[in-house]
């Protein structure tokens, strides 16, 4: 079964505050997906961490795969209560396990958000064009944005205020608010990374080099704040068209 292209939003903390977690070692899974009766995954489930150096400081991002699995299935059942994915007894069991895992260490919470096939446009609201890096990954050229959690939360809060002030529907503003809450749970000196990762394979390399999605999202918000709705729409449609094809894979699945 082919690997699903996935983008990630990761929170890295200064490694000195994480403790002795082994560095993650990528395992060649030949693009396979593993499943059991409740979960599907395409990554190693060992408890370890991603390590990186940013602005001269070593940072670590605990992977906490089991925590992410349980958070994901509980969030899905909350969003779609009419789908009989879990029995009430199973829900209670997963909640109990999640609480236990969170008690075991101060860092046993989800430091990683993932998105199949595309980058959600709201993620770009945390970044500026200067945060963007083009890099060579295991599967080819990709893009990542990196900034401090302090800057990210200020930018996302501003985006939420702009959308709210423009009268956007609650469901649109609530998604930005959820992102704001997730980032706010980390200290201001954390580093928040948006990584196109394997989603980058959906684009020709030349397109990636000229991809300025964060800049387009910011331009749309700035125009909206200035009540220039035509300019806001133009900037938004530019970035929306760029991601339309990959986002359609999500909808079709």
Stronger pLDDT, 4 or 203, i.e. the higher one: 203
pLDDT above 90: residue 219? yes
Stronger pLDDT, 32 or 87, i.e. the higher one: 87
The SS3 call for residue 212 is coil
**What is the Cα gyration radius of the chain?**
19
Spatial neighbors of 114 by CB under 8 A, at least 6 apart, are 6, 7, 8, 9, 68
User: Would you state the pLDDT for residue 43?
Assistant: 64
Stronger pLDDT, 239 or 45, i.e. the higher one: 239
- Spatial separation of the C-alpha atoms in residues 159 and 204, rounded to whole Å: 30
Percent of the chain having pLDDT more than 70? 87
User: Would you state the pLDDT for residue 28?
Assistant: 55
pLDDT above 90: residue 30? no
pLDDT above 50: residue 182? yes
User: Would you state the pLDDT for residue 71?
Assistant: 78
pLDDT above 80: residue 249? no
User: Would you state the pLDDT for residue 218?
Assistant: 98
Q: Among the ranges 108-112, 114-118, 184-188, which has the highest mean pLDDT value?
A: 184-188
What does pTM read for this prediction? 0.83
Model confidence at 1, in pLDDT bands (50, 70, 90)? very low
pLDDT above 90: residue 128? yes
In the chain, what are the domain boundaries? 6-63+111-252
**Alpha-helical segments (H) within the chain:** 65-79, 88-104, 149-165, 170-184, 205-209, 213-225, 229-252
């Amino acid at each position: 079964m082919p690997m699903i292209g996935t983008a990630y939003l990761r929170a890295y903390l200064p490694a000195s505050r994480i403790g002795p977690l082994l560095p993650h070692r990528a395992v060649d899974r030949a693009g396979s997906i593993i499943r059991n009766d409740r979960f599907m995954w395409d990554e190693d489930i060992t408890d370890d961490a991603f390590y990186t150096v940013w602005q001269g400081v070593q940072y670590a991002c605990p992977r906490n795969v089991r925590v992410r699995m349980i958070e994901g299935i509980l969030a899905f059942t909350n969003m779609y209560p009419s789908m009989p994915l879990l029995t009430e007894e199973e829900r209670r069991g997963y909640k109990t396990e999640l609480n236990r895992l969170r008690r075991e260490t101060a860092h046993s919470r989800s430091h990683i958000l993932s998105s199949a096939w595309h980058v959600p446009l709201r993620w770009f609201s945390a970044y500026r064009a200067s945060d963007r890096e083009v890099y060579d990954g295991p599967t080819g050229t990709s893009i990542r944005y990196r900034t401090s959690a302090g800057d990210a939360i200020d930018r996302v809060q501003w985006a939420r205020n702009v959308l709210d002030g423009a009268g956007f529907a609650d469901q649109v503003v609530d998604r930005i608010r959820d992102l704001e809450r997730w980032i706010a749970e980390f200290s201001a000196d954390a580093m928040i990374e948006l990584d196109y990762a394997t989603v980058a394979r959906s684009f020709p390399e030349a397109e990636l080099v000229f991809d300025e999605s964060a800049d387009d999202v910011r331009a749309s918000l700035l125009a909206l704040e200035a009540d220039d709705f035509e300019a806001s729409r133009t900037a938004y449609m530019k970035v929306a068209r760029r991601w339309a094809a990959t986002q359609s894979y999500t909808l079709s699945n």
